Amino acid sequence: MSEHPVPSSPPSEGQSTPLTARTGARASEPSAPETARRRQIGLLVFDGVEELDVVGPWEVLSSWTRMHPEDGWDVFCMSVDGGPVVGAKSLMLGAHRSTGSAPRLDVLVHPGGSGTRPMLNDPEHLQWVREARRKVPLMASVCTGSLVYAAAGLLTGRRATTHWASLNLLSQLDPTVITDVRSRFVDDGDVVTSAGVSAGIDMALHLVARFAGTDRAREVRRDIQYDPMPPV
């Protein structure tokens, strides 16, 4: 499961109705062009999610979509039941929607964290990921979210990365994965994976560049003042 911004809350799922259907106008009368469907990015949240895995990409993607709604993209967070979750370091994180009520996705972002470990052996969640793969054009992951993708069979024979401490586990889950041990993120077409935690910010900026151009991504980077200069 590859172009474009989002309002503070996710938009409705329904597509616009042709003018003739809304107004009863005769078919021979000229009608206004139908509004294009806004593209949707969904960030999954769950108990035990690594907080920065979510909040980092959210800051990038929501800054972009709020500043430039004309790009045609929206972003929202979703949990299984639509309720809040408790992150790996005890931060409460909310969701805009449940996974069942989410609009059709163009991008799914699956974060990592300690909460991914039970998912590796959760048939229901792995099946949900496989079904998403069939429907969603671009599947992205942050940190150990890629372990879930590997367990679901999404990374067979593909380039991918994960948190440095989980690179061996990624290979164990699927020995065919071409593990990239150096990159902050790996774009393998319709699957994009990032290394650990803060690398999700880099990946999200890459997605902005991929969907809306490098200049747009640079604008977002300046807006959030992301210019890493570690003091240690």
| Integer Cα distance of 221 and 223 in angstroms | 5
pLDDT at residue 190 in the model? 98
Q: Which CATH class is domain 37-223?
A: alpha beta
Q: Would you say residue 17 has pLDDT above 90?
A: no
Question: What six digits make up the tokens of 136?
Answer: 């969603």
Domain residue ranges of the chain, discontinuous segments joined by +: 37-223
Task: Report CA 173 to chain centroid distance, whole Å.
Answer: 22
pLDDT of residue 36: 86
Give the tens place of pLDDT for each residue, 187-228.
Answer: 999 999 999 999 999 999 999 999 999 999 999 999 999 999
Confidence grade of residue 37 (pLDDT, cut at 50, 70, 90): very high
Q: For residue 107, what pLDDT band results from cuts at 50, 70 and 90?
A: very high
Give the per-residue pLDDT at 28: 43
- The model's pLDDT over 44-67, given as tens digits with 9 standing for 90+, comes to 999 999 999 999 999 999 999 999
Q: pLDDT by residue (tens digit) across 129-188?
A: 999 999 999 999 999 999 999 999 999 999 999 999 999 999 999 999 999 999 999 999
Which residue numbers are catalytic? 143
Say if residues 178 and 154 touch (Cβ distance below 8 Å): no
Structure tokens at 181: 């041990």
